[in-house]
């Protein structure tokens, strides 16, 4: 038998070996008890069985793990390196088995949720918080993109489900209507329309309506502004090269007004007031949908869909 000075020399060979995890456990037990006999007694097996198993292990890896004597056994320098690695392997296997058992009970895993709305407040925020509380071991990933980018991410498997406003979704996706949100007008506090309880679409005539070039909800905004564009005397729409957050600063500076959804109203924006946008039938609303792939069998996704049916029983999910 070749006696290696260091276990490092064996790394390449170890990767090619098919080690018995039971043999590793017996070797670690022998090291901890310092005796084949005491280790065998603790494991309720015969000493000859344990000794033979460790001999086969030593032969398999090509090193002497233990120096034997009448007083017991002592790990060799190479054996110490081997046993440290063996302990690490067994610990990782224990963690892996535990995670697999949890996954089998749908208690862990990964779930990627895409969105193109706000998480400041609203239904989506509340749903994500409840899901995290119910399934704390699931790694929840949140992705903000435009609706077109979310559709690509869904097809590529980068997200499991996304929530977006509007309609015209991909025909191969599973789609469910969830909730709707009111539309508000964000105004400077001293704007004439701020004195009203609500704002009609016709009130927006001759107003400057600001749209962010980099808002992740550009498709949603296009849906919202359909009513403005088709108005007889519509407002002047200006695209600005700023983020959605900075858009509020432009509004507070008196450079125009903008439209936001109900979930955005909770955002910190000093100097602004929000007024509900209404038409002849009442508040203007935008519907939100959940979109996912039919062939996604993730237990984490299944639990998220179940939660959606509980929170929104009138949705098509139910």
Mean pLDDT lowest among 209-213, 281-285, 294-298? 209-213
Residue 312: helix, strand or coil by DSSP? coil
pLDDT-derived band at 132, boundaries 50, 70, 90: very high
Tens digits of per-residue pLDDT, 104-130? 555 567 899 998 766 665 788 889 999
Copy the structure tokens of residue 75.
């790990």
Tens digits of per-residue pLDDT, 14-43? 445 566 888 999 999 999 999 999 999 999
Burial-class residue 8 by CB neighbours within 10 Å (0-12, 13-18, 19+): exposed
Rounded to whole angstroms, the Cα distance separating 14 from 311 reads 53
Copy the structure tokens of residue 104.
């089998």
What pLDDT is stored for residue 94 in this prediction?
Answer: 78
Copy the structure tokens of residue 278.
């209404």
Mean pLDDT along residues 288-314: 89
Rounded to whole angstroms, the Cα distance separating 207 from 256 reads 7
- The chain-wide mean pLDDT, for the chain, equals 80
What pLDDT is stored for residue 1 in this prediction?
Answer: 41
Rounded to whole angstroms, the Cα distance separating 265 from 145 reads 20
What pLDDT is stored for residue 109 in this prediction?
Answer: 79
Report pTM: 0.55
């Amino acid at each position: 038998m070749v006696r290696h000075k260091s276990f490092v020399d064996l790394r390449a060979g170890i990767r090619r070996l098919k080690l018995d995890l039971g043999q590793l456990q017996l070797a670690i037990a022998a090291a901890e008890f310092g005796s084949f006999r005491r280790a065998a007694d603790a494991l309720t097996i015969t000493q000859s069985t344990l000794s033979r198993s460790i001999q086969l292990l030593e032969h398999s890896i090509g090193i002497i793990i233990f120096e034997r004597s009448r007083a017991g056994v002592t790990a060799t320098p190479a054996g110490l390196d081997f046993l440290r690695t063996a302990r690490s392997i067994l610990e990782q296997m224990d963690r892996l088995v535990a995670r697999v058992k949890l996954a089998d009970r749908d208690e862990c895993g990964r779930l990627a949720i895409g969105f193109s709305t706000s998480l400041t407040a609203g239904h989506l925020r509340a749903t994500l918080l409840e899901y995290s509380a119910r399934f704390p071991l699931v790694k929840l990933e949140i992705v903000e993109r435009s609706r077109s980018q979310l559709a690509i991410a869904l097809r590529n498997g980068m997200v499991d489900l996304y929530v977006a406003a509007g309609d015209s979704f991909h025909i191969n996706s599973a789609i469910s209507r969830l909730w709707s949100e009111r539309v508000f007008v964000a105004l400077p506090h001293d704007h004439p329309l701020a004195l009203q309880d609500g704002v009609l679409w016709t009130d927006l005539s001759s107003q400057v309506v600001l749209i962010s070039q980099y808002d992740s909800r550009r498709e949603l905004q296009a849906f919202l502004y359909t009513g403005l564009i088709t108005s007889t005397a519509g407002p002047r729409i200006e695209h600005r090269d700023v983020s959605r957050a900075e858009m509020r600063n432009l509004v507070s500076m008196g450079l125009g007004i903008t439209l936001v959804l109900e979930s955005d109203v909770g955002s910190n924006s000093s100097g602004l007031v929000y007024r509900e946008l209404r038409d002849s039938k009442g508040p203007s609303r935008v519907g939100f949908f959940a979109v996912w792939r039919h062939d996604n069998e993730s237990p984490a996704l299944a639990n998220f869909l179940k939660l959606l049916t509980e929170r929104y029983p009138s949705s098509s999910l139910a």
